[in-house]
Amino acid sequence: MAATTELVDFDEVIAKFDPAMGLEIHVELNTNTKMFCGCPTAFGAEPNTQVCPTCLGLPGAMPVVNRKAVESAIRIGLALNCEIAEWCRFARKNYFYPDMPKNFQTSQYDEPIAFDGYLDVDVEGETFRVEIERAHMEEDTGKSTHVGGSDGRIHGADYSLVDYNRAGIPLIEIVTRPILGTGDKAPLVAKAYVSAIRDLIVALGVSDARMDQGSIRADVNLSLAPKGSGGLGTRSETKNVNSLRSVERAVRYEMGRHAGILLAGGSVLQETRHFHENDGTTSSGREKSDAEDYRYFPEPDLVPVAPSREWVTELRATLPENPAAKRVRLQKEWGFSDLEMRDTIGAGALELIEETVAAGAAPQAARKWWLSELTRRANDTGVELAEVGVTPVQVAGVQALVDTGRINDKLARQVFDGLIAGEGTPEEIVAARGLEIVSDDGALSAAVDKAIEANPDVADKIRDGKVAAAGALIGAVMKEMRGQADAGRVRELILEKLA
């Protein structure tokens, strides 16, 4: 049936149905070791080199909880305004899959570490409160690679390989309550929520938070109910959506698809679905199991987790400023326009500018360097802005030289060349490359005389009172002095000499 479903236009969906969403986000923690063993977690190692009897599920191996992962889970829970359990357990979620060698996933079921929280997100000036049902701890599975088939799927593959390096890496799964009342903003609210979670995770420093590398993955549940009915329809769950834009598109597509089925008199199948980046569509995965099919039971090999209230209080004190509130504060402090702020965030330059300002530069000067000169260099070499090879302290140092008139913006670019080449501090580079602006009258005067001599017609115009013509002579002096002349002083000298 899915193949023949007509997609319904978004406006019509909104006119006839109320959407309900549920978002499940998996965050891969950046602990040094796995959730229940001491194996390293570094990304990109040779397959099956970061494994041990515990994460391979060998008989008799005993797991031990990673304290750092519990700490990160509690901090995430607190940042999401959750209650933190005084006592909770792990549970076995039983199902078979080749990349899960124990045939169960160690997770949490009815006793999550964090529960009953919320996160407020802004969409086009309107605030939506997303209620968090729970945030629980679990382990990641291994990774299967299907070889020989089309687009990496198991169907049609010649054989499959499995890498257990990822098996046992700690995950936090954050689950919302049904998100209702979003109407035509549903796709944007979903995107804003995932974006806000990512910002929070970055601010907490508990994960690499790279959606493109799968360290944050979103599952998008969607259902439609007849408009005004107040009910909840049957949901579909689109798995592992891995960019913010895809989250928005997946919601939009599923709304159109569900409406098509419902308006044709059909019923939506409760199932998991795959999202396709290339055309923004979803396709059927497997029928969704209900919780009872997993036969959850408490994990007998792990002691319960009972974080003391003192520890929770200590961790609460480590929480960073809420990222959304921080942006509002910084924009006000820096005097940036909405557009400047949006560009700053889009370029990933917020923290860099913050540190540059902290090192003494004016906000607009810091913004100018990071968003133009340094962004261009980062793009040219295909690296993140933070990895361009210049630190915020160095940018502030370059700007200080501009502020005191020792170099100008043009010469500053050569200082950045030197910084990236590792030639020392901005001060040292100016000295070694001889970049300092010349404002000594002796040197300038000779260059001005030479320019006047070479451009007699321009000089005559200035003598006749056409002061604007001085620009041409200033240009000539600058060229003569390789851009290092004090332009203001050169102008004064020209006007003095031709008065």
**Segment (H or E) for 171:** strand 170-176
- As measured in angstroms, the least distance from the Cβ of 55 to Zn ion is 3
Q: 223: which 2 tokens?
A: 């259902």
- As measured in angstroms, the least distance from the Cβ of 167 to Zn ion is 8
- As measured in angstroms, the least distance from the Cβ of 54 to Zn ion is 5
* C-alpha distances in Å from residue 160, one per residue of 147, 163, 276: 6, 10, 22
Task: Tell me which DSSP letter residue 372 carries.
Answer: I
# chain residues binding Zn ion, by CB under 5 A: 5
- As measured in angstroms, the least distance from the Cβ of 297 to Zn ion is 23
Determine if residue 371 is left, alpha or beta; phi over 0 gives left, psi from -120 to 50 gives alpha, anything else beta: alpha
Among the residue ranges 29-37, 238-246, 319-327, 412-420, the one whose residues contact Zn ion (CB under 5 A): 29-37
- As measured in angstroms, the least distance from the Cβ of 340 to Zn ion is 48
Among the residue ranges 31-39, 204-212, 317-325, 437-445, the one whose residues contact Zn ion (CB under 5 A): 31-39
Site track for Zn ion across 37-66, x = CB under 5 A:
x-x------------x-xx-----------
- As measured in angstroms, the least distance from the Cβ of 13 to Zn ion is 47
Answer yes or no whether residue 167 interacts with Zn ion by CB under 5 A. Answer: no
- As measured in angstroms, the least distance from the Cβ of 138 to Zn ion is 15
The total number of residues written for the chain in this structure = 499
**Segment (H or E) for 219:** strand 216-226
Q: Which is nearer to Zn ion, 36 or 253 (CB)?
A: 36
Among the residue ranges 32-40, 152-160, 280-288, 399-407, the one whose residues contact Zn ion (CB under 5 A): 32-40
The amino acid at residue 412 is A
Q: Which is nearer to Zn ion, 123 or 162 (CB)?
A: 162
Among the residue ranges 30-38, 135-143, 174-182, 205-213, the one whose residues contact Zn ion (CB under 5 A): 30-38
The amino acid at residue 100 is M
- As measured in angstroms, the least distance from the Cβ of 145 to Zn ion is 20
Q: Which is nearer to Zn ion, 133 or 299 (CB)?
A: 299
Q: Look at residues 42, 78, 22, 402 and name the one whose alpha carbon lies nearest to residue 250.
A: 22
- In 3-state terms, what secondary structure has residue 340? helix
Q: Which is nearer to Zn ion, 56 or 481 (CB)?
A: 56
The amino acid at residue 88 is C
Q: Which is nearer to Zn ion, 45 or 431 (CB)?
A: 45
- Give dist(CA 66, CA 251) in Å, integer: 35
- Give dist(CA 318, CA 75) in Å, integer: 8
- As measured in angstroms, the least distance from the Cβ of 26 to Zn ion is 20
Q: Which is nearer to Zn ion, 140 or 173 (CB)?
A: 140
Beta carbons within 10 angstroms of residue 325's beta carbon: 9
Q: Which is nearer to Zn ion, 39 or 201 (CB)?
A: 39
Q: Which is nearer to Zn ion, 30 or 54 (CB)?
A: 54
Count of helix runs (H) and strand runs (E) in the chain: 17, 14
Are the CB atoms for 258 and 232 separated by under 8 Å?
no
CA atoms within 13 A on the CB side of 206: 29
Q: Which is nearer to Zn ion, 140 or 486 (CB)?
A: 140
Q: Cα–chain-centroid distance for residue 379?
A: 17
Among the residue ranges 33-41, 211-219, 271-279, 369-377, the one whose residues contact Zn ion (CB under 5 A): 33-41
- Give dist(CA 355, CA 367) in Å, integer: 11
Residue numbers of the site for Zn ion (CB under 5 A)?
37, 39, 52, 54-55
